[in-house]
Amino acid sequence: MATRADRLKTLTARRSINHRMFQVSFRNLLLLTLVLRTFQIYLSNFLLPCEPTAIATGSENAELLLHRNRRLAACRFRMFPSNTVSQRTLAFSNDTHSQTEFNNMKLSMIVNPLNERNLQLAAQVGVEEIVLTYPGLERRLFTDAKRLVESFGMKLTHLERKVPHLKFVHRLPGYERQIEDFKTLIRIMAENEMKVLCYNWMPDEDWQRTSSTVIERGGSLVTEFNVKDVGRNVTDADGRPYVPTPSPQLWDNLELFLNEVIPVAEDAGIRLALHPDDPPMPELLGQARIMFSNAALFRAVNLVPSNFNGVCYCVGSLHPAGEDLLEGIRLLAARIFFVHARNVRGTATHFVETWHDNGEIDMVAVIRALKQCDYSGTVRPDHAPSMAGELNETPGYEMLGRLFAAGYLKGIFQAI
Protein backbone atom coordinates (compact mmCIF):
# COMPACT_ATOMS: atom_id res chain seq x y z
CA MET A 1 0.00 0.00 0.00
CA ALA A 2 1.41 3.42 -1.07
CA THR A 3 2.44 5.67 1.71
CA ARG A 4 1.45 9.30 1.98
CA ALA A 5 4.95 10.29 0.78
CA ASP A 6 4.58 8.07 -2.31
CA ARG A 7 1.21 9.60 -3.21
CA LEU A 8 2.66 13.10 -2.83
CA LYS A 9 5.60 12.19 -5.08
CA THR A 10 3.22 10.79 -7.76
CA LEU A 11 1.03 13.93 -7.66
CA THR A 12 4.07 16.17 -8.02
CA ALA A 13 5.26 14.20 -11.03
CA ARG A 14 1.86 14.47 -12.71
CA ARG A 15 1.79 18.22 -12.15
CA SER A 16 5.25 18.54 -13.68
CA ILE A 17 4.15 16.58 -16.76
CA ASN A 18 1.01 18.71 -17.17
CA HIS A 19 3.08 21.88 -16.85
CA ARG A 20 5.52 20.73 -19.55
CA MET A 21 2.61 19.77 -21.82
CA PHE A 22 1.07 23.23 -21.33
CA GLN A 23 4.38 24.89 -22.20
CA VAL A 24 4.68 22.82 -25.39
CA SER A 25 1.08 23.60 -26.37
CA PHE A 26 1.54 27.31 -25.71
CA ARG A 27 4.75 27.38 -27.77
CA ASN A 28 2.96 25.58 -30.60
CA LEU A 29 0.09 28.07 -30.43
CA LEU A 30 2.50 31.00 -30.65
CA LEU A 31 4.29 29.37 -33.56
CA LEU A 32 0.97 28.77 -35.36
CA THR A 33 -0.08 32.38 -34.79
CA LEU A 34 3.22 33.61 -36.19
CA VAL A 35 2.87 31.39 -39.26
CA LEU A 36 -0.71 32.54 -39.91
CA ARG A 37 0.21 36.19 -39.49
CA THR A 38 3.15 35.82 -41.90
CA PHE A 39 0.87 34.11 -44.40
CA GLN A 40 -1.71 36.91 -44.00
CA ILE A 41 0.86 39.61 -44.70
CA TYR A 42 2.17 37.65 -47.67
CA LEU A 43 -1.31 37.39 -49.17
CA SER A 44 -2.20 41.04 -48.67
CA ASN A 45 1.08 42.33 -50.06
CA PHE A 46 2.01 39.89 -52.80
CA LEU A 47 -0.86 37.70 -53.94
CA LEU A 48 -3.35 40.59 -54.16
CA PRO A 49 -1.47 43.44 -55.84
CA CYS A 50 -3.43 46.47 -56.98
CA GLU A 51 -1.10 47.55 -59.78
CA PRO A 52 -1.95 51.27 -59.65
CA THR A 53 0.90 52.15 -62.00
CA ALA A 54 -0.61 50.09 -64.82
CA ILE A 55 -3.82 52.08 -64.54
CA ALA A 56 -2.06 55.38 -64.28
CA THR A 57 -0.27 54.87 -67.58
CA GLY A 58 -3.59 54.91 -69.42
CA SER A 59 -2.84 51.60 -71.11
CA GLU A 60 -5.38 50.15 -73.52
CA ASN A 61 -6.41 47.61 -70.87
CA ALA A 62 -7.11 50.28 -68.24
CA GLU A 63 -10.77 49.32 -67.96
CA LEU A 64 -10.01 45.67 -67.29
CA LEU A 65 -7.27 46.54 -64.80
CA LEU A 66 -9.51 48.96 -62.95
CA HIS A 67 -12.28 46.39 -62.69
CA ARG A 68 -9.85 43.64 -61.61
CA ASN A 69 -8.24 45.88 -58.99
CA ARG A 70 -11.60 46.63 -57.42
CA ARG A 71 -12.43 42.92 -57.32
CA LEU A 72 -9.08 42.10 -55.72
CA ALA A 73 -9.53 44.84 -53.15
CA ALA A 74 -12.99 43.61 -52.23
CA CYS A 75 -11.65 40.06 -51.88
CA ARG A 76 -8.77 41.24 -49.70
CA PHE A 77 -11.04 43.11 -47.31
CA ARG A 78 -13.45 40.22 -47.02
CA MET A 79 -10.55 37.92 -46.10
CA PHE A 80 -8.82 40.35 -43.76
CA PRO A 81 -11.32 42.94 -42.51
CA SER A 82 -9.26 44.13 -39.53
CA ASN A 83 -7.11 47.25 -39.51
CA THR A 84 -3.98 45.10 -39.14
CA VAL A 85 -3.94 44.28 -42.84
CA SER A 86 -1.49 46.31 -44.90
CA GLN A 87 -3.58 48.87 -46.80
CA ARG A 88 -2.18 50.55 -49.89
CA THR A 89 -3.76 53.17 -52.09
CA LEU A 90 -5.93 51.70 -54.83
CA ALA A 91 -6.06 54.99 -56.68
CA PHE A 92 -3.66 56.23 -59.32
CA SER A 93 0.09 56.32 -59.13
CA ASN A 94 0.51 59.95 -58.10
CA ASP A 95 -2.04 59.75 -55.26
CA THR A 96 0.05 59.84 -52.09
CA HIS A 97 -2.42 59.31 -49.26
CA SER A 98 -0.81 58.17 -46.04
CA GLN A 99 -2.09 55.04 -44.36
CA THR A 100 -3.71 57.11 -41.61
CA GLU A 101 -5.90 58.80 -44.24
CA PHE A 102 -7.46 55.56 -45.42
CA ASN A 103 -11.10 55.15 -44.44
CA ASN A 104 -11.09 58.69 -43.08
CA MET A 105 -14.25 59.85 -44.83
CA LYS A 106 -15.32 63.39 -44.09
CA LEU A 107 -18.67 65.16 -44.08
CA SER A 108 -19.19 67.98 -46.52
CA MET A 109 -22.25 70.16 -47.04
CA ILE A 110 -23.82 72.77 -49.25
CA VAL A 111 -24.83 75.52 -46.83
CA ASN A 112 -27.99 77.19 -48.08
CA PRO A 113 -27.84 80.13 -47.87
CA LEU A 114 -24.15 80.61 -47.17
CA ASN A 115 -24.30 82.70 -44.00
CA GLU A 116 -22.83 82.69 -40.51
CA ARG A 117 -25.76 80.96 -38.82
CA ASN A 118 -25.84 78.04 -41.25
CA LEU A 119 -22.07 77.66 -41.20
CA GLN A 120 -22.16 77.51 -37.41
CA LEU A 121 -24.85 74.81 -37.54
CA ALA A 122 -22.79 72.81 -40.04
CA ALA A 123 -19.68 73.07 -37.87
CA GLN A 124 -21.61 72.03 -34.77
CA VAL A 125 -22.80 68.74 -36.33
CA GLY A 126 -19.29 67.79 -37.48
CA VAL A 127 -19.10 69.01 -41.08
CA GLU A 128 -15.47 69.49 -42.09
CA GLU A 129 -15.65 70.69 -45.70
CA ILE A 130 -18.02 73.13 -47.39
CA VAL A 131 -19.30 72.83 -50.97
CA LEU A 132 -19.74 76.13 -52.78
CA THR A 133 -22.46 76.59 -55.38
CA TYR A 134 -21.25 78.35 -58.52
CA PRO A 135 -21.00 82.10 -57.74
CA GLY A 136 -19.71 83.30 -61.11
CA LEU A 137 -16.12 83.99 -62.13
CA GLU A 138 -15.40 86.99 -59.92
CA ARG A 139 -12.37 86.02 -57.85
CA ARG A 140 -13.44 88.10 -54.86
CA LEU A 141 -16.51 85.91 -54.35
CA PHE A 142 -14.29 82.86 -53.89
CA THR A 143 -11.83 84.52 -51.50
CA ASP A 144 -14.69 85.97 -49.42
CA ALA A 145 -16.39 82.58 -49.20
CA LYS A 146 -13.11 80.87 -48.25
CA ARG A 147 -12.44 83.40 -45.50
CA LEU A 148 -15.97 83.05 -44.10
CA VAL A 149 -15.89 79.23 -44.11
CA GLU A 150 -12.47 79.07 -42.48
CA SER A 151 -13.61 81.42 -39.70
CA PHE A 152 -15.83 78.53 -38.52
CA GLY A 153 -13.00 75.99 -38.58
CA MET A 154 -14.00 74.31 -41.85
CA LYS A 155 -12.45 74.26 -45.34
CA LEU A 156 -13.88 75.36 -48.66
CA THR A 157 -13.00 72.40 -50.89
CA HIS A 158 -15.68 71.60 -53.47
CA LEU A 159 -17.81 73.41 -56.01
CA GLU A 160 -20.98 72.21 -57.72
CA ARG A 161 -24.38 73.20 -59.11
CA LYS A 162 -25.36 75.79 -61.71
CA VAL A 163 -22.02 75.70 -63.53
CA PRO A 164 -22.93 76.94 -67.04
CA HIS A 165 -22.59 74.04 -69.46
CA LEU A 166 -25.51 73.73 -71.90
CA LYS A 167 -23.58 75.25 -74.81
CA PHE A 168 -20.74 72.73 -74.69
CA VAL A 169 -23.05 69.82 -73.81
CA HIS A 170 -25.01 70.46 -77.03
CA ARG A 171 -22.14 72.16 -78.92
CA LEU A 172 -24.17 75.28 -79.50
CA PRO A 173 -22.75 78.57 -80.79
CA GLY A 174 -20.47 80.00 -78.13
CA TYR A 175 -19.45 76.60 -76.73
CA GLU A 176 -15.76 77.43 -77.08
CA ARG A 177 -16.18 80.50 -74.87
CA GLN A 178 -18.08 78.44 -72.29
CA ILE A 179 -15.28 75.85 -72.19
CA GLU A 180 -12.76 78.66 -71.64
CA ASP A 181 -14.89 79.92 -68.75
CA PHE A 182 -14.85 76.40 -67.28
CA LYS A 183 -11.05 76.43 -67.47
CA THR A 184 -10.98 79.80 -65.73
CA LEU A 185 -13.18 78.35 -63.00
CA ILE A 186 -10.70 75.52 -62.49
CA ARG A 187 -7.84 77.98 -62.10
CA ILE A 188 -9.76 80.17 -59.64
CA MET A 189 -10.56 77.12 -57.54
CA ALA A 190 -6.87 76.20 -57.47
CA GLU A 191 -5.97 79.73 -56.35
CA ASN A 192 -8.26 79.19 -53.37
CA GLU A 193 -6.88 75.73 -52.51
CA MET A 194 -10.07 73.91 -53.44
CA LYS A 195 -10.06 70.23 -54.47
CA VAL A 196 -13.03 69.01 -56.51
CA LEU A 197 -15.25 70.50 -59.22
CA CYS A 198 -18.48 68.54 -59.58
CA TYR A 199 -20.23 68.99 -62.94
CA ASN A 200 -22.92 67.13 -64.87
CA TRP A 201 -23.82 66.27 -68.45
CA MET A 202 -27.56 66.70 -68.06
CA PRO A 203 -28.85 68.10 -71.36
CA ASP A 204 -31.58 70.00 -69.50
CA GLU A 205 -29.03 71.63 -67.15
CA ASP A 206 -29.86 70.10 -63.74
CA TRP A 207 -32.02 67.74 -61.70
CA GLN A 208 -35.78 67.73 -62.25
CA ARG A 209 -38.82 66.91 -60.13
CA THR A 210 -42.57 67.06 -60.71
CA SER A 211 -43.57 67.79 -57.09
CA SER A 212 -41.97 69.20 -53.94
CA THR A 213 -44.83 68.68 -51.48
CA VAL A 214 -45.11 64.92 -50.99
CA ILE A 215 -45.76 64.18 -47.32
CA GLU A 216 -43.08 62.14 -45.54
CA ARG A 217 -42.47 61.16 -41.92
CA GLY A 218 -44.03 63.51 -39.38
CA GLY A 219 -45.44 65.81 -42.04
CA SER A 220 -42.08 66.68 -43.58
CA LEU A 221 -42.03 67.48 -47.30
CA VAL A 222 -40.02 65.68 -50.00
CA THR A 223 -39.69 65.83 -53.76
CA GLU A 224 -41.14 63.40 -56.30
CA PHE A 225 -40.53 62.58 -59.94
CA ASN A 226 -43.38 61.05 -61.95
CA VAL A 227 -42.90 60.69 -65.70
CA LYS A 228 -46.69 61.11 -66.11
CA ASP A 229 -46.37 64.69 -64.87
CA VAL A 230 -43.27 65.62 -66.92
CA GLY A 231 -43.44 69.20 -68.12
CA ARG A 232 -44.19 70.55 -64.65
CA ASN A 233 -40.70 70.89 -63.21
CA VAL A 234 -40.39 72.36 -59.69
CA THR A 235 -36.57 72.67 -59.48
CA ASP A 236 -34.35 75.49 -60.73
CA ALA A 237 -33.17 73.59 -63.83
CA ASP A 238 -32.94 75.80 -66.92
CA GLY A 239 -34.33 73.16 -69.29
CA ARG A 240 -33.00 71.84 -72.61
CA PRO A 241 -32.52 73.79 -75.84
CA TYR A 242 -35.34 73.71 -78.38
CA VAL A 243 -33.51 71.33 -80.74
CA PRO A 244 -32.58 68.00 -79.05
CA THR A 245 -29.12 66.45 -79.32
CA PRO A 246 -28.85 62.67 -80.02
CA SER A 247 -26.88 60.49 -77.61
CA PRO A 248 -23.89 59.77 -79.96
CA GLN A 249 -23.38 63.52 -80.29
CA LEU A 250 -23.58 63.96 -76.50
CA TRP A 251 -20.78 61.41 -76.13
CA ASP A 252 -18.68 63.12 -78.81
CA ASN A 253 -19.22 66.48 -77.13
CA LEU A 254 -18.18 65.04 -73.77
CA GLU A 255 -14.95 63.66 -75.20
CA LEU A 256 -14.15 66.99 -76.84
CA PHE A 257 -14.83 68.80 -73.57
CA LEU A 258 -12.66 66.45 -71.51
CA ASN A 259 -9.76 66.69 -73.93
CA GLU A 260 -9.91 70.46 -73.50
CA VAL A 261 -10.29 70.72 -69.72
CA ILE A 262 -8.46 67.71 -68.24
CA PRO A 263 -4.96 69.11 -68.99
CA VAL A 264 -5.96 72.33 -67.20
CA ALA A 265 -7.31 70.35 -64.25
CA GLU A 266 -4.07 68.34 -64.07
CA ASP A 267 -1.96 71.50 -64.05
CA ALA A 268 -4.17 73.10 -61.39
CA GLY A 269 -4.58 70.00 -59.20
CA ILE A 270 -8.39 70.15 -59.35
CA ARG A 271 -10.28 66.89 -59.72
CA LEU A 272 -13.31 66.85 -62.01
CA ALA A 273 -16.22 64.74 -60.74
CA LEU A 274 -19.02 63.91 -63.18
CA HIS A 275 -22.49 63.60 -61.61
CA PRO A 276 -25.02 61.12 -63.09
CA ASP A 277 -28.28 62.25 -64.68
CA ASP A 278 -31.26 62.88 -62.38
CA PRO A 279 -33.75 61.42 -63.14
CA PRO A 280 -31.72 58.49 -64.52
CA MET A 281 -33.56 57.98 -67.79
CA PRO A 282 -32.27 57.37 -71.35
CA GLU A 283 -34.69 60.01 -72.65
CA LEU A 284 -36.79 62.83 -71.23
CA LEU A 285 -39.14 65.07 -73.22
CA GLY A 286 -37.62 63.87 -76.48
CA GLN A 287 -34.04 64.62 -75.39
CA ALA A 288 -31.55 61.75 -75.09
CA ARG A 289 -29.59 61.38 -71.85
CA ILE A 290 -26.40 59.35 -71.47
CA MET A 291 -25.20 59.41 -67.86
CA PHE A 292 -27.66 57.13 -66.06
CA SER A 293 -25.70 53.96 -65.21
CA ASN A 294 -22.48 52.62 -63.70
CA ALA A 295 -21.38 51.56 -67.18
CA ALA A 296 -21.89 55.07 -68.56
CA LEU A 297 -19.85 56.63 -65.75
CA PHE A 298 -17.10 54.06 -66.32
CA ARG A 299 -17.06 54.85 -70.03
CA ALA A 300 -16.87 58.58 -69.29
CA VAL A 301 -13.84 58.38 -67.03
CA ASN A 302 -12.00 56.33 -69.62
CA LEU A 303 -12.67 58.67 -72.54
CA VAL A 304 -9.67 60.65 -71.33
CA PRO A 305 -7.75 58.55 -68.76
CA SER A 306 -6.39 60.81 -66.05
CA ASN A 307 -5.99 60.98 -62.30
CA PHE A 308 -8.19 64.06 -62.47
CA ASN A 309 -11.07 62.63 -64.53
CA GLY A 310 -13.54 61.01 -62.14
CA VAL A 311 -17.09 60.89 -60.86
CA CYS A 312 -19.37 62.13 -58.17
CA TYR A 313 -21.07 58.90 -57.11
CA CYS A 314 -24.66 59.90 -56.29
CA VAL A 315 -26.43 56.84 -54.91
CA GLY A 316 -29.85 58.51 -54.92
CA SER A 317 -29.58 59.25 -58.64
CA LEU A 318 -28.51 55.74 -59.67
CA HIS A 319 -30.70 53.59 -57.42
CA PRO A 320 -34.01 54.33 -59.20
CA ALA A 321 -32.43 53.07 -62.44
CA GLY A 322 -31.91 49.68 -60.80
CA GLU A 323 -28.13 50.02 -60.67
CA ASP A 324 -26.13 47.88 -58.24
CA LEU A 325 -24.62 50.58 -56.03
CA LEU A 326 -22.11 48.35 -54.27
CA GLU A 327 -20.82 46.94 -57.55
CA GLY A 328 -20.65 50.46 -58.94
CA ILE A 329 -18.55 51.61 -56.01
CA ARG A 330 -16.14 48.70 -56.50
CA LEU A 331 -15.96 49.29 -60.24
CA LEU A 332 -15.37 53.04 -60.03
CA ALA A 333 -13.64 53.30 -56.66
CA ALA A 334 -10.34 54.70 -57.92
CA ARG A 335 -12.26 57.37 -59.81
CA ILE A 336 -14.78 58.35 -57.13
CA PHE A 337 -13.77 61.85 -56.06
CA PHE A 338 -17.01 62.88 -54.33
CA VAL A 339 -20.07 61.08 -52.92
CA HIS A 340 -23.66 62.27 -52.64
CA ALA A 341 -25.77 60.41 -50.09
CA ARG A 342 -29.54 60.64 -50.40
CA ASN A 343 -32.28 58.03 -50.12
CA VAL A 344 -35.25 57.28 -52.36
CA ARG A 345 -38.11 54.86 -53.04
CA GLY A 346 -39.29 53.87 -56.50
CA THR A 347 -38.06 53.51 -60.06
CA ALA A 348 -36.62 55.87 -62.65
CA THR A 349 -40.07 56.74 -64.00
CA HIS A 350 -41.65 57.35 -60.59
CA PHE A 351 -39.77 57.85 -57.34
CA VAL A 352 -39.90 59.94 -54.19
CA GLU A 353 -37.08 61.11 -51.98
CA THR A 354 -37.07 60.05 -48.32
CA TRP A 355 -35.25 60.56 -45.08
CA HIS A 356 -31.75 59.11 -45.18
CA ASP A 357 -32.73 56.33 -42.77
CA ASN A 358 -36.01 55.09 -44.28
CA GLY A 359 -35.59 54.72 -48.04
CA GLU A 360 -34.73 51.68 -50.14
CA ILE A 361 -30.97 52.29 -50.19
CA ASP A 362 -28.97 50.49 -47.50
CA MET A 363 -26.85 53.47 -46.52
CA VAL A 364 -24.77 51.41 -44.09
CA ALA A 365 -23.81 49.01 -46.88
CA VAL A 366 -22.92 51.95 -49.14
CA ILE A 367 -20.60 53.53 -46.56
CA ARG A 368 -19.06 50.15 -45.76
CA ALA A 369 -18.32 49.56 -49.46
CA LEU A 370 -16.68 52.97 -49.71
CA LYS A 371 -14.59 52.21 -46.66
CA GLN A 372 -13.50 48.85 -48.06
CA CYS A 373 -12.33 50.61 -51.21
CA ASP A 374 -10.20 53.07 -49.21
CA TYR A 375 -12.38 56.05 -50.06
CA SER A 376 -11.06 59.00 -48.05
CA GLY A 377 -12.92 61.86 -49.69
CA THR A 378 -16.07 63.59 -48.56
CA VAL A 379 -19.65 62.40 -48.38
CA ARG A 380 -22.24 65.13 -48.78
CA PRO A 381 -25.69 64.62 -47.23
CA ASP A 382 -27.71 65.34 -50.34
CA HIS A 383 -31.40 66.16 -50.73
CA ALA A 384 -33.29 65.91 -47.45
CA PRO A 385 -36.90 66.62 -46.40
CA SER A 386 -38.03 70.10 -45.50
CA MET A 387 -39.03 70.17 -41.83
CA ALA A 388 -41.61 72.01 -39.73
CA GLY A 389 -40.99 75.75 -39.74
CA GLU A 390 -39.06 75.73 -43.02
CA LEU A 391 -40.52 77.48 -46.07
CA ASN A 392 -39.59 74.74 -48.58
CA GLU A 393 -38.38 77.44 -50.94
CA THR A 394 -35.38 75.32 -51.96
CA PRO A 395 -36.71 71.74 -51.90
CA GLY A 396 -34.07 69.22 -50.89
CA TYR A 397 -31.71 71.97 -49.71
CA GLU A 398 -33.35 73.39 -46.61
CA MET A 399 -30.99 73.15 -43.63
CA LEU A 400 -32.71 71.20 -40.84
CA GLY A 401 -33.23 67.90 -42.66
CA ARG A 402 -29.63 67.92 -43.85
CA LEU A 403 -28.40 68.49 -40.30
CA PHE A 404 -30.21 65.29 -39.34
CA ALA A 405 -28.65 63.55 -42.37
CA ALA A 406 -25.18 64.75 -41.36
CA GLY A 407 -25.56 63.24 -37.89
CA TYR A 408 -26.93 60.01 -39.33
CA LEU A 409 -24.01 59.63 -41.74
CA LYS A 410 -21.45 60.53 -39.10
CA GLY A 411 -22.89 57.81 -36.89
CA ILE A 412 -22.43 55.29 -39.70
CA PHE A 413 -18.84 56.45 -40.23
CA GLN A 414 -18.02 55.76 -36.60
CA ALA A 415 -20.00 52.53 -36.33
CA ILE A 416 -18.24 50.71 -39.16
Domain with 131 in it: what CATH number?
Answer: 3.20.20.150
Residues of the chain above pLDDT 70, percent: 75
pLDDT of 4 > 50? The answer is yes
Q: What is the pLDDT of residue 324?
A: 98
Q: What is the pLDDT of residue 241?
A: 75
Q: What is the mean pLDDT of the chain?
A: 83
Query: Is residue 21 packed enough to be buried (19+ CB in 10 Å), middle (13-18) or exposed (0-12)?
Result: exposed
Is 89 among the domain residues?
A: no
Residues 182 and 36 in one domain: no
Residues 15 and 139 in one domain: no
Summarize pLDDT for 195-237 with one digit per residue, the tens: 999 999 999 888 999 999 999 999 999 999 999 999 888 887 8
Query: Is residue 40 packed enough to be buried (19+ CB in 10 Å), middle (13-18) or exposed (0-12)?
Result: middle
Mean pLDDT of 295-306: 98
Is 242 among the domain residues?
A: yes
What total of structural domains would you count in the chain?
2
Residues 113 and 28 in one domain: no
* Cis preceding linkage at 279, omega within 30: yes
Residues 248 and 125 in one domain: yes
Tell which residue, 201, 244, 262, 220, has the closest CA to residue 58: 262
Is 101 among the domain residues?
A: no
Residues 291 and 379 in one domain: yes
Tell which residue, 291, 375, 271, 331, has the closest CA to residue 63: 331
Is 94 among the domain residues?
A: no
CA distance 250 to 170: 7
Is 56 among the domain residues?
A: no
> Could you tell me where the beta strands, DSSP code E, fall in 315-393?
336-341, 344-347, 350-353, 378-381
Q: What is the pLDDT of residue 234?
A: 84
Residues 43 and 157 in one domain: no
- pTM score > 0.85 for this model? no
Is 76 among the domain residues?
A: no
Residues 155 and 42 in one domain: no
User: For residue 130, which phi and psi values (nearest 5 degrees)?
Assistant: -105, 140
Residues 294 and 378 in one domain: yes
Summarize pLDDT for 9-33 with one digit per residue, the tens: 555 555 555 555 545 454 555 455 5
Residues 33 and 113 in one domain: no
Residues 198 and 329 in one domain: yes
Count of CB atoms within 10 A of residue 300's CB? 23
CA distance 142 to 128: 18
Summarize pLDDT for 74-85 with one digit per residue, the tens: 433 333 333 333
Residues 401 and 281 in one domain: yes
Is 82 among the domain residues?
A: no
Identity at 180, one-letter amino acid code: E
- Look up the domain containing 252 and give its range: 106-415
Residues 36 and 174 in one domain: no
Summarize pLDDT for 328-342 with one digit per residue, the tens: 999 999 999 999 999
Is 155 among the domain residues?
A: yes
| Coil, strand or helix at 217 | helix
